[in-house]
Amino acid sequence: MERQIINKRKRVFSLQPNKNPKALFARRYVSHLVPALKKINMKKSSSKTNHPSFEKTVKHEVDMAFALSAQEFAWSRFLLQKLLSSVHDDPVRTSSSPSEILERSSKKQGGGKHQDRDEEEGGEIKKRLKELQKLLPGGEEMNMEEILSEIGSYIVCLELQMIVLKSIVQDNIS
Amino acid sequence: MDLSVLDRLKWLQQQQMVSPEFLQILGSDGREELKRVESYLGNNNDELQSFRHFPEFGPDYDTTDGCISRTSSFQMEPVKNSGHNRAISLQNKRKPEGKTEKREKKKIKAEDETESSMKGKTNMSNTETSSEIQKPDYIHVRARRGEATDRHSLAERARREKISKKMKCLQDIVPGCNKVTGKAGMLDEIINYVQSLQQQVEFLSMKLSVINPELECHIDDLSAKQFQAYFTGLPEADSKQSIMADFRSFPLHQQGSIDYSVLNGTVTISLCSKDQTSSSWETHSQCLYNNSRTDSVSNFFSLK
C-alpha cells in the first residue's frame, strides 16, 4: 500500500510536467517568488526597515510573481502594468469590501414589479459585471465576453497561488 | 461528437488531391460562379480549393437545403432533392418545403471592407462551411422555426450562446454555482469567490511577511516539499483551520464527489468523513491537482 502511494505520487509529477499548465504555473510562481523573498530578507537584515513597508514589499513581490507566472492571459499583463507603475505609490488594494455584496443582494430582494423584472435583471447583471470588472485587473477595458473568459483563468491562478503560499507558510511554521 | 478541427483539416487536405470532377458537373457556369464566390471572399484561394472538393462525397454526403451542417460531420441527413444536389448547392437555392428547420449561416468577418458586400449574401452556405473550417472566426448560427432570421437577431443569439457557454465553464470552476440558477446569481457567486480568494492571498502574504525572517532555511527544499506536505498533510487538516478561521463564515459548497484517484484510500476516507466548512476549502484546493477539472481549466490554458 505504501509503495502504491509513492508510485501514485510519483506518477503525478513525472508525467510531462511541462505540459501540465497548473504545474507549470505553480513552478513558475515558486521560482519567481522565492528569490524575491530571499532578496527582501537580505535587504531587511542589512537595513532596518519599518514593518508596514515590509509588508507592502512582500505583497508587492507576491503580486509580481503572480503576474509573471501567468503571462498567457490578458489580466496578467494589466496587473503587471499596474504593479510596475505603482512601485513607489501605495500598493493597489485588490479586494473590495464585502458590505457591497450585502447591499446588492438586499436591493434585489427589495424587488421590483413584475413588468420591470427583465429590466431589473438586466440592470442587476450589469451591476454585477461592473463589480467583476473592478475585481479583475484590466477589467475596465474589457467587454462582457472577455471578462467571462479571463475570469476563469484568473480564478484558477488565484487558487494555485493560494496553494503555493499556504505550503510556503506551512513549511516555515512547522 | 463531430470531428475535431484538426481531423477535418486533414480530411480536407486529403480531398485536395482528388481531381475536380465537380467542376464538370457545373459546367462553365460553375466556373464563373466559383469566380464570383472567390471575389466575395477576397483572394482566399485555399478556401475555395477545399470548397471545390467538398461535395466530392456526393453519394455519401448528402446535404439538406444546400447547406452542409456544421454539427454533423459525416452524418448525412436525407435529402429531398438528391438528384441535383451538387449543382443546386452551388447556386444557393433553398428548398424549405416540408422541413422543420431552416438553416441559415451567417458570416461575421473582422474586416470591414467585405462586410457590405456580404450583407446580402447569407445564402453562401457551402463556402461558409468550408471556410469555417479554416477560418474559425465565422460564426454559424442555426435559426429555428419561427425565430427571426435577420442578421441582428442572429448575432444576438450567437453572442448569447457564447456567453452562456462561458458561464457554464465558470460553473465548473467556482464551487457552489450548481445550486444557483440564472446569470445574476452566478455572477454573485463568482464575485464572492474572487473576493474571498483575493482576501486569502492578502492574508497569506501578510503571514508570510511575519514569518519571513526564518524563511531562508526552508526555501531550497520548497518545490519538492510543497507537494509532499500538501498530500501528506491532509490528515492534519485540523491544524489548518487556524488559517481558514477568517473564512469560515463564508458560505461554502460541500464537495460531494471528488476524484481522488491520485491520493491513497485512507486519506480519501478521512477527508470524506469530515464535514466541516474549512475542510471543504481544503478538499476543493486538493481538486486542483487532480484531473477531474482539467476540461474546464484546459480551455483557459490552451489560449496559447
**Considering the domain boundaries, does residue B68 fall inside one?**
no
> Distance between CA atoms of B201 and A91, rounded to whole angstroms?
14
Asked if pLDDT for residue A166 goes beyond 80, the answer is: yes
Show residues of chain B in contact with A156, CB under 8 Å: 173, 288, 297, 300
Instruction: Report which of residues A157 and A103 the model is more confident about.
Output: A157
Range from B112-116, B135-139, B290-294 that averages highest in pLDDT: B135-139
For cell 470531428, name the residue.
B3
Please give the pLDDT value at position B43.
45
Asked if pLDDT for residue A82 goes beyond 60, the answer is: yes
Cell readout for B165 is: 457557454
- At residue B234 the predicted structure's pLDDT band, cuts being 50, 70 and 90, is very low
For residue B14, the distance in angstroms to the closest alpha carbon of chain A comes to 30
First and final CA of chain B: distance in angstroms?
24
**Considering the domain boundaries, does residue B194 fall inside one?**
yes
Instruction: Report which of residues B6 and B189 the model is more confident about.
Output: B189
pLDDT average, residue stretch B222-226 = 50
Asked if pLDDT for residue A168 goes beyond 60, the answer is: yes
A to B CB pairs, distance under 8 Å: 199
**Considering the domain boundaries, does residue B158 fall inside one?**
yes
Closest partner residue to A159 (CB to CB) among B209, B240, B285 is B285
Instruction: Report which of residues B297 and A61 the model is more confident about.
Output: A61
For residue A127, the distance in angstroms to the closest alpha carbon of chain B comes to 9
For A74-131, the DSSP string reads: HHHHHHHHHHHHTSSSPPPP----THHHHHHHHHHHH---STTHHHHHHHHHHHHHHH
**Considering the domain boundaries, does residue B58 fall inside one?**
no
- At residue B9 the predicted structure's pLDDT band, cuts being 50, 70 and 90, is low
Please give the pLDDT value at position A30.
79
Please answer whether residues B175 and B247 qualify as being in contact, where contact means their C-beta atoms are separated by less than 8 angstroms: no
The reply to whether the predicted model has a pTM over 0.80 is: no
Residue type, A19: K
Please give the pLDDT value at position B15.
64
ipTM of the complex: 0.73
Residues 6+ apart with CB under 8 A from B261: B290, B291
Asked if pLDDT for residue B272 goes beyond 50, the answer is: no
**Considering the domain boundaries, does residue B178 fall inside one?**
yes
Whether residue A128 lies within 8 A of chain B, CB to CB, comes out as yes
Of B197, B229, B261, the one marking the end of a domain is B229
- What's phi and psi for B64, nearest 5 deg? -100, 140
**How many residues are recorded in chain B?**
304
What is the count of structural domains for chain B? 2
Whether residue A41 lies within 8 A of chain B, CB to CB, comes out as yes
Residue A88: exposed, middle, or buried by beta-carbon count in 10 A (0-12, 13-18, 19+)? Answer: exposed
Chosen from B160, B207, B241 to mutate, greatest number of chain A CBs within 10 A: B207
Residue type, A76: S
Whether residue A104 lies within 8 A of chain B, CB to CB, comes out as yes
B108-122 tens-digit pLDDT: 443 444 444 444 444
User: What CATH number does the domain containing B215 carry?
Assistant: 4.10.280
Phi-psi group of B198: left, alpha or beta (phi > 0 → left; psi -120 to 50 → alpha; rest → beta): alpha
**Considering the domain boundaries, does residue B301 fall inside one?**
no
Of B214, B229, B244, the one marking the end of a domain is B229
Q: Is B67 helix (H, G, I), strand (E, B) or coil?
A: strand
Please give the pLDDT value at position A67.
82
Residue B97: exposed, middle, or buried by beta-carbon count in 10 A (0-12, 13-18, 19+)? Answer: exposed
Whether residue A152 and residue B299 make contact (CB cut-off 8 A), yes or no, is yes
Chosen from B167, B170, B194 to mutate, greatest number of chain A CBs within 10 A: B194
Whether residue B229 and residue A135 make contact (CB cut-off 8 A), yes or no, is no
- Domain limits at B31? 1-41
Whether residue A73 lies within 8 A of chain B, CB to CB, comes out as yes
For cell 480536407, name the residue.
B12
Of B176, B208, B229, the one marking the end of a domain is B229
**Considering the domain boundaries, does residue B24 fall inside one?**
yes
- Nearest residue in chain A measured CA to CA from B173: A152
**Considering the domain boundaries, does residue B296 fall inside one?**
no
**Considering Cα of B253, then B254, then B258, then B263, what sign does the dihedral take?**
positive
Closest partner residue to A58 (CB to CB) among B159, B191, B209 is B209
- Nearest residue in chain A measured CA to CA from B203: A59
Whether residue B202 and residue A59 make contact (CB cut-off 8 A), yes or no, is yes
B196-206 tens-digit pLDDT: 999 998 888 88
